[in-house]
């Protein structure tokens, strides 16, 4: 029964709540009090401690929801329903340290320029990184979705490629999704780059290995490691950002820059794309979540007042 109850939330959510509850537990045990059942005033004092320590609103939210989650699992009275806790949580929106600045989106022009720099390269590490960048950009992929791709998730066709997304942040019930990426007309075509990567890495698309794995060099030879090991976030970030820096200047870039860049490019395109298809391609559940990825162009923002009729 306990396993089924834990499965009521996604694995990542349960892990975050567990770690958040551990921090509360360590804090309250140091004060010689019980973590479950918790007294509402003690929870309120813990939230006050977080705010005094310079915690972000997200950190405060995580603390509250972690304590709520643990009490609900135990069938204990939820202390976070107390007015003190609720008011402090609301206060955190105004008092907590501001969130970090969002990553800047990459543009199509930047990616074309980057691919032109390495147009004649057959270095597997370079091609792997370029392939990940282009697939993320064109498929609106989060890093976890990209790093979890299995070779047999890929289906190659004449004019497009199909990606099977087994697990997504917004796919709580693991029903999976299918992403279609069409062939481009520039050097930054994601389909051609993927074909080049598959050929260089000698990848079999019937394999159940991860598509993007760490690379090793030995005596001038560059190959994917044989072990079926997923790329680490830190390793991929370092490798990808170093490539994007070549064309990104002083932009604030991260792994989310490709997803944001792809969404921004489509949103600002002169030819209108169906909102329904655009939302489905990015696997967004709500309008607010997808809008948060888009940086509107100056021209599109001017269009608003051009239609005022004055």
- Dist CA 111 CA 107 (whole Å): 7
In order, the DSSP letters of 180-222 are EEE--SSTT-HHHHHHHHHHHTT--TT--SBSS--EEEETTEE
Among 90, 103, 101, 125, residue whose Cα is nearest residue 218: 125
Residue 304: per-residue pLDDT: 46
Tally of CA atoms within 13 A in the half-sphere of 221 that contains its CB? 6
Tens-digit pLDDT profile for residues 6-32? 777 777 788 899 999 999 999 999 988
| Alpha helix ranges (H) inside the chain | 2-6, 11-30, 40-52, 57-74, 83-95, 108-117, 124-139, 143-147, 190-200, 233-248, 256-267, 275-282, 287-291, 298-306
Tens-digit pLDDT profile for residues 112-127? 999 999 999 999 999 9
Gyration radius (Cα) of the chain, Å? 23
Sorted by sequence, the CB contacts under 8 Å of residue 178 that are 6+ apart come out as: 162, 163, 164, 165
Measured in whole angstroms, the distance separating CA 238 from the mean position of its chain's CA atoms is 16
Q: Which domains does the chain have, with CATH numbers?
A: 11-95 (1.10.150.130), 108-294 (1.10.443.10)
Quickly state the pLDDT bin for 305 (edges 50, 70, 90). very low
197-216 mean pLDDT: 93
Per the confidence metrics, is the pTM higher than 0.85? no
Residue 275: per-residue pLDDT: 73
79-107 mean pLDDT: 83
């Amino acid at each position: 029964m306990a396993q089924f109850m834990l499965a009521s939330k996604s694995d990542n959510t349960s892990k975050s709540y567990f770690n958040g509850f551990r921090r509360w537990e360590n804090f309250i045990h140091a004060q010689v009090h019980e973590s479950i059942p918790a007294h509402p005033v003690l929870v309120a004092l813990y939230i006050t401690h977080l705010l005094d320590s310079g915690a972000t609103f997200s950190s405060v939210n995580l603390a509250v929801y972690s304590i709520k989650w643990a009490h609900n699992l135990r069938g204990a009275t939820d202390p976070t329903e107390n007015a003190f806790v609720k008011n402090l949580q609301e206060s955190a929106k105004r008092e907590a340290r501001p969130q970090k600045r969002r990553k800047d989106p990459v543009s199509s022009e930047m990616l074309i320029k980057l691919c032109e720099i390495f147009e004649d390269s057959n270095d597997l590490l370079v091609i792997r990184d370029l392939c990940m960048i282009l697939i993320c950009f064109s498929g609106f992929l989060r890093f976890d979705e990209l790093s979890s791709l299995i070779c047999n998730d890929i289906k190659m066709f004449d004019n497009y490629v199909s990606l099977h997304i087994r697990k997504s942040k917004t796919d709580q019930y693991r029903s999976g999704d299918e992403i279609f990426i069409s062939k481009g007309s520039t050097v930054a075509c994601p389909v051609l780059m993927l074909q080049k990567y598959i050929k260089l890495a000698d990848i079999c698309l019937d394999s159940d290995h991860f598509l993007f794995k760490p690379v090793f060099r030995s005596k001038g030879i560059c190959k994917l490691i044989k072990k079926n090991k997923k790329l680490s976030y830190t390793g991929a970030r370092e490798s990808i950002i170093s490539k994007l820096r070549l064309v990104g200047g002083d932009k604030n870039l991260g792994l989310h820059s490709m997803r944001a860049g792809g969404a921004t490019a489509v949103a600002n395109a002169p030819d209108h794309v169906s909102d329904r298809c655009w939302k489905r391609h990015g696997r967004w559940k709500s309008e607010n979540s997808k809008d948060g990825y888009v940086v509107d162009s100056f021209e599109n923002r001017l269009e608003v007042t051009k239609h005022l009729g004055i």
